[in-house]
Amino acid sequence: MNQPLVLDGLKVADDVKAKLQVRVHNLKEKEITPCLATVLVGDDPSSATYVKMKGNACEKLGIQSKRIHLPSETTTEELIQCIQELNSDSLVDGILLQHPVPAHIDERAAFEAISIEKDVDGVTSFGYGQLAFGFGKYPCCTPAAIMAILDYYDLPMEGKHAVVVGRSPILGKPVSVMLLNRDATVTTCHSKTQNLADLVSQADIVVAAVGKPNFIQGAWIKAGAVILDAGYNPGNIGDVDYEACYTKASAITPVPGGVGPVTISMLLKHTVDSAELRAKK
């Protein structure tokens, strides 16, 4: 069997950002600067790093990054008030609430407070409903990244059997819906699924979104399958046993350098999409 195609997320992200640069320039000629507001509650170092990365990515493209850092003792009500103020700010195009928030906060209530017009991270139930019906503007960024990789490399989805391992509301479920909307036949697996290896072995497309290092085994993979690893575990390890699955796949994403870089570029794209809608008002 020929060596598989390594799906280079850095290359896909660079392509997305190059196209965005032109769109940001055109917006600025109309005196509109796209703006993403990030809200961080507490002092979790990983969350702070992610927010900083997203802010830096914005600034490299000329997108304004409005960073709000709230103390860990912030209440649900105070967080929602902050989000509502951002909803009302006509110069803010997107709002990202960094997950996770401190345990005493009702995270779902805070997510739901984000205006659908500014839900560029795809975290509201309203946005998920629109996505399911096929007209959502801003899907969750990691599922959007997976679809962008498939499209960039012109990998067919129509009529293919896709097996998604994981059912989280911001990854497994939305990517299952997006694949279904592109005419794939989708099986969504989870911790209670029986005969998981048998199901994965039937897949033309495997999406690993389970949050367990090296969980998907090479012996499970059908020859020629396309594998998209959305996992990121300590030590730069994905959810797929890369070396074992590499020998079976026709195409595979590495970790790091696969889905991750494209996820951030999708957040930037959704923010620019929102700014363009503001420009039309």
Give the model confidence (pLDDT) of 237-253 as tens digits: 999 999 999 999 999 99
Tell me the per-residue pLDDT of 53-69, one tens digit each, with 9 for 90 and over. 999 999 999 999 999 99
pLDDT at residue 2 is higher than 90: no
Rg for the chain (alpha carbons), in Å? 19
Q: Which residue has the tokens 């997107």?
A: 94
Residue 71's SS3 state is: coil
The answer on pLDDT for 88 being more than 80 is yes
Which H or E run includes 87? helix 76-88
Look up the pTM and report it.
Answer: 0.96
Q: Which amino acid is at 114?
A: I
The CA–CA distances, whole Å, from 8 to 120, 174, 178, 243 equal 24, 22, 21, 16
Return d(Cα 4, Cα 258) in angstroms, integer.
14
User: CA–CA separation, 227 vs 48, rounded Å?
Assistant: 30
Alpha-carbon distance 78 to 59, whole Å?
28
Give how far Cα 163 sits from Cα of 83, 116, 184, 190, 222, Å.
Answer: 36, 29, 10, 11, 12
- Catalytic annotation present for 84: no
pLDDT of residue 1: 58
Question: Residue 98: which of 77, 123, 76 has the closest Cα?
Answer: 123
The catalytically annotated residue of 119, 121, 229, 239 is 121
Q: Is 281 a catalytic residue?
A: no
pLDDT of residue 281: 84
CA dist 167 and 176 (Å) reads 9
> Catalytic pick from 54, 66, 173, 248?
54
By the 8 A CB rule, do 252 and 6 touch?
yes
Q: Does the annotation count 98 as an active-site position?
A: yes
Q: Is the pLDDT of residue 142 over 80?
A: yes
The percentage of residues in the chain with a pLDDT greater than 70, rounded to a whole number, is 100
Average model confidence (pLDDT) across the chain: 97
Closest CA to 82 of 99, 69, 73, 72: 69
Q: What is the pLDDT of residues 146-202, one digit of tens each?
A: 999 999 999 999 999 999 999 999 999 999 999 999 999 999 999 999 999 999 999
Q: Domains of the chain, with CATH numbers?
A: 31-115 (3.40.50.10860), 140-259 (3.40.50.720)
**Which among 8, 98, 204, 241 is annotated as catalytic?**
98
Distance between CA atoms of residues 255 and 237, nearest Å: 6
pLDDT tens digits for 246-280? 999 999 999 999 999 999 999 999 999 999 999 99
Contact 7/251 with Cβ under 8 angstroms?
Answer: yes
Residue 164 exposure: Cα atoms within 13 Å on the Cβ side: 24
